[in-house]
Structure 1
Amino acid sequence: MRIVIINYGAGNIQSIKFAIQRLGFEAVLSDNEAEIRNADKVIFPGVGEASSAMEKLRATGLDKVIPTLTQPVLGICLGMQLMCNHCEEGNTQGLNIFDVDVVKFDGSEKVPQIGWNQIESLKSDLFKGISESEYMYLVHSFYVPLTNEAIATTNYGIKYASALQEKNFYGVQFHPEKSSKAGAQILQNFLEL
Structure 2
Amino acid sequence: MSDGAVVRVLTGRGSRTADREALLAFVAEVTDTDTALVTVVRRCPQCGAADHGRPAAVVDGRHLGVSLSRTPGALALAVAPGTIGVDVERPSRVTAAGLDVFTSGERGRASSSASVPVHLTACWAVKEAVLKRDGRGLRVDPSAVDSVLGPVASGADVHMAAFDGLVQPVTVLRLEDDLVLAVAAGGAPVDVQDRRDRSDAGPWSVV
TM-score normalised per structure 2: 0.31
TM-score normalised per structure 1: 0.33
Larger radius of gyration: 2
Higher RCO, Cα 8 Å, sep 6+: 2
